[in-house]
Structure 1
Amino acid sequence: MELRLSANDSFVTKFVLLGLTNSPALQPILFVVFLLSYVATIGGNFSILAAILIEPKLHTPMYFFLGNLSLLDVGCITVTVPAMLQQFLFNDRSIPYRSCLSQLFFFHLLAGADCFLLTVMAYDRYLAICHPLTYSTRMSWGIQKASVGMSCVFSFTHALTQTVALSTLKFCGPNVINNFYCDLPQLFQLSCSSIQLNEQLLFVAAGFMGVAPFVLITVSYAHVVAAVLRIRSTEGRKKAFSTCGSHLTVVGIFYGTGIFNYMRLDSMEASEKDKGIGIFNTVISPMLNPLIYSLRNPDVKGTLKKMLIGK
C-alpha cells in the first residue's frame, strides 16, 4: 500500500482496484469479452448517430435527444472499460488518487446528464402525444438545445460537488477498492474521516437526480398511456406504444441499477452483486440502448438497413 506521510498522518496516494476476478485463467477471456462489448457499444451508438444525421426524416426532437443519449453512452463506457482493459493487459490494478477522482467526476457527469436527458425525453413524448397541436412550439429548436444544455449544467454541478466533497476526506489505509472502477460507495468505506456530510450530499442528489426525475417520468407516461388508450386506430396505438416502450425500457434499466447501487450506503460490506450491478450500469446498459431503440423503432431500423445495403 502506497502512502504519503504528512506530519503525523498517512495519506493514500494510490488505490488498488480488485477488479472482477483474481483468476489468471479468466483474465484473457474477460479481456476479449469486454473489448468486444466496448467495440459493439461504440459501433452501435455511432450507427444511431449516423442514421440520425443522414436521414432527414429523423431530424425531429425525439431523435435529437436520442443522438445526445448515444453520445452519453459512448462517454460512460469509455470512462470505465478502457481502464479495466488496461488492468487486464498489464496486470496493474493500481490507480493514482487523482485519476480515481477524475474517473469518479466524469462518470457522475455523464450518468447525471443521462438521468436528466431521459426525463426530457419523457416530457417530449408527453407533448407529442398529449399536445400534438402545440408540440412544435413547445419543443422548438431553441428549447431542445436549452434542455440539453441545462441537463449538462445540472449534471456538472452534481459531479463537481461530489468530487470536491470527496477530496476533503482523508484516506489513511487500507486502499483496496472491491470494484473495477472508482465510485462513491466504495470510497466512503475506505475513508478514515467522517463521511456524514458526503452522505447527506449524496442523499440530496438522489432526491434531485433520482426521485424527482423518476416522478416526472412516471407522471408523463401516465398521461401518455391515458391518451394512447383513447386512440381508436390500432395502428396508431401500436406506433405510440412502440416509441414509448423503447424509452421506458431504458429508463427501467437505468433507474433499477442506480437505485440498487446508491441506496445501500448503510451496507458497509461490498459484495459481488455490486460488481454485477456496476457491469450492468457501465457496460451492458450503454451496449443495449442502441439495440433497444433500433429494434423497436421502425424509422431507425429502416435507416440503418438502408445504410448497410448502401442505398
Structure 2
Amino acid sequence: MYYFAYFLTFYFQPVQNKADMSLSQNSSSVYPEYFFIIGLSGIHNSNYYYMFLCITYFVTVTGNSLVLLLIALYRSLHSPKYIGVFNLALADFGETNALIPNMMKTFLFDSQYISYNACLANMFFVHFFSTVQSFTLVVLAYDRFIAIFLPLRYHAIVNYTFMYFVFSIIWVFNASIVAFAVSLITRLSFCESNKVNGYYCDYGPVYRLACNDNSICASMAQLSAALYVVAPVIIIVLSYLGIFLALSKITTWEGRLKALKTCVSHLLLVGSFFLPIICIFIATSTNSLSLNARVISTSLAHALPPMLHPIIYVLNTAEIKDIIIKIVRNKCLPVRKNILKLRK
C-alpha cells in the first residue's frame, strides 16, 4: 500500500544522501535517514494501551471487512446509499491499516524508528483515508437531506451515476491534495532533530522539526483543517437544519420519528468522527492538554471511529441487520438438525 507514496516522495525530493544530517553546499534540503517516534514512549503502563489498540484493530478490521463483504455480495444492498457506506468502510479499513500496525510494531519489536520514505508514506495514507472519511460523511448527510427534504425526487437525484461520480472526484481530489502536502515536506531540511512528538508521522509534528522556512506547510495545515473539518461540519449542520425544517412540516409525530430514525446512524457517525477532533482542537488551543494526554486523545480519535462505524451501521440499519440474522440462522439450522439426529 505504501508504493504509491514512495513514488511521490522520490519524484518530489532532490537527489541527495538522506543519511547525511549536515547541510550540503549543492543542495537546499537535508533529510534524516530515520525519524524517531516518541509520542507513546513517555506514557506510563503503555503496554495496556497497546493491548487495547490490538483489540481495536481486530474489531475494526473484522467489522469493516464484514460490511464491505455484505454490501458487495447481497443485491438488496446494491443501492446508491450503500455506495457511500461502502466507501466509508473502505476508508476506515485503509486508515486503520495505515496507522495501528506501525504503532503495534513499536510495541512488539521495541522499535520507535521509521525511515524517511516510510514516514512520508505513513503520513500520506493516514491523512488520505481520514479526508475520505470526512467527505464521505458529507455525502451521506446530503443523501439524508434529499431523502427527507425532497423524497419524491430522491431516486432521480441520488442515483448510481451521481454517487460514482462524486466518490471518484473525492478520491482523486483528496489524493492530489494530500500528495501535494507531503511533497512540501520533501522541501524541508531536518538538520537539528528527528524526534517526532506524535504516535505516527503526523504532518504538523514533522514539519515543525524543520530548520528552514516551513510557513508554506503551516499554511497548508490550516487550509486542510478548514477544508476537511470546518467546511464539512458547516455543511452537515446546514443539511440537518434543512432536515429539521422538513420534519416540522410533517403533521404526525409518528411520521417525524420515522423520518428522523433514518438519520440516527449518520448522526452517530458524525458525532464519533468530528466531536473528538473538535474537542482536541479546543483543548490544544487553550494549552489544557499535556503531551501524553494529547497523544492518547488524538490516537483514540483516529482509532475509535473506524471501529465504531460498522457497529453503528449493523445495529441501526435494518437491511444489514436482517441479512446478518439470516446468515446466522442458516448456519445454525444445520447444526441444530444434526444435534436432534444424534439425540434420536
Q: What's the TM-score once normalised by structure 1's chain length? A: 0.89
Query: Following superposition of structure 1 onto structure 2, how do residues 33-72 of structure 1 map, counting pairs within 5 Å?
Result: 33-72=52-91
8 Å CA contact 1:170–1:193 kept in 2: the answer is yes
Of 204, 208, 212 in structure 2, the residue corresponding to residue 185 of structure 1 is: 204
Of 157, 178, 195 in structure 1, the residue corresponding to residue 214 of structure 2 is: 195
In the TM superposition, residue 178 of structure 1 has moved relative to its aligned partner by: 2.3
**Cα distance in 2, alignment partners of residues 23 and 257 from structure 1:** 20
In the TM superposition, residue 246 of structure 1 has moved relative to its aligned partner by: 1.6
Q: 1:262 to 1:162 in 2, by over 3 A?
A: farther
**Cα distance in 2, alignment partners of residues 217 and 134 from structure 1:** 20
Does 2:104 correspond to 1:85? yes
SS state at 1:12 partner: coil
Q: Which residue of 2 aligns with 1:175?
A: 194
In the TM superposition, residue 270 of structure 1 has moved relative to its aligned partner by: 6.7
**Cα distance in 1, alignment partners of residues 124 and 180 from structure 2:** 9
Of 270, 277, 281 in structure 1, the residue corresponding to residue 297 of structure 2 is: 277
The residue identity in structure 2 corresponding to 1:251 is V
The residue identity in structure 1 corresponding to 2:229 is G
Q: 1:191 to 1:83 in 2, by over 3 A?
A: same
Does 2:313 correspond to 1:293? yes
Q: 1:254 to 1:3 in 2, by over 3 A?
A: farther
8 Å CA contact 1:105–1:159 kept in 2: the answer is yes
CA RMSD of aligned residues (A): 2.5
In the TM superposition, residue 126 of structure 1 has moved relative to its aligned partner by: 0.8
Does 2:117 correspond to 1:98? yes
8 Å CA contact 2:204–2:221 kept in 1: the answer is no
Q: Which residue of 1 aligns with 2:24?
A: 7
Of 192, 215, 231 in structure 1, the residue corresponding to residue 250 of structure 2 is: 231
Q: Which residue of 1 aligns with 2:322?
A: 302
13-22 or 82-91: bigger deviation: 13-22
Q: Which residue of 1 aligns with 2:167?
A: 148
The residue identity in structure 1 corresponding to 2:38 is L
Q: 1:310 to 1:239 in 2, by over 3 A?
A: farther
The residue identity in structure 2 corresponding to 1:91 is D
SS state at 1:282 partner: helix
**Cα distance in 2, alignment partners of residues 112 and 270 from structure 1:** 26
Q: 1:195 to 1:143 in 2, by over 3 A?
A: same
8 Å CA contact 1:44–1:291 kept in 2: the answer is yes
Q: 1:182 to 1:224 in 2, by over 3 A?
A: same
Percent sequence identity is 28
Q: Give the structure with higher Rg (CA).
A: 2
Residue ranges of structure 2 left out of the alignment (5+ in a row): 1-18, 332-344
Does 2:37 correspond to 1:20? no
Q: 1:246 to 1:144 in 2, by over 3 A?
A: same
**Cα distance in 2, alignment partners of residues 161 and 108 from structure 1:** 12
Alignment size in residue pairs: 308
6-15 or 59-68: bigger deviation: 6-15
Query: Following superposition of structure 1 onto structure 2, how do residues 262-273 of structure 1 map, counting pairs within 5 Å?
Result: 271-273=291-293
Does 2:151 correspond to 1:165? no
Residue ranges of structure 1 left out of the alignment (5+ in a row): none
9-18 or 138-147: bigger deviation: 9-18
**Cα distance in 2, alignment partners of residues 25 and 209 from structure 1:** 34
What whole-Å deviation, never above 9, does each CA across 1:75-128 have from its counterpart, x for those lacking one?
A: 011001111111111111100111111111111111111111111111111111
In the TM superposition, residue 68 of structure 1 has moved relative to its aligned partner by: 1.0
Q: 1:110 to 1:300 in 2, by over 3 A?
A: same
In the TM superposition, residue 59 of structure 1 has moved relative to its aligned partner by: 2.2
8 Å CA contact 1:186–1:270 kept in 2: the answer is no
Q: 1:239 to 1:294 in 2, by over 3 A?
A: farther
Q: Which residue of 1 aligns with 2:236?
A: 217
What whole-Å deviation, never above 9, does each CA across 1:177-234 have from its counterpart, x for those lacking one?
A: 2222111221133121222111112222222332222221111111112212333444
Q: 1:261 to 1:96 in 2, by over 3 A?
A: farther
**Cα distance in 1, alignment partners of residues 69 and 257 from structure 2:** 26
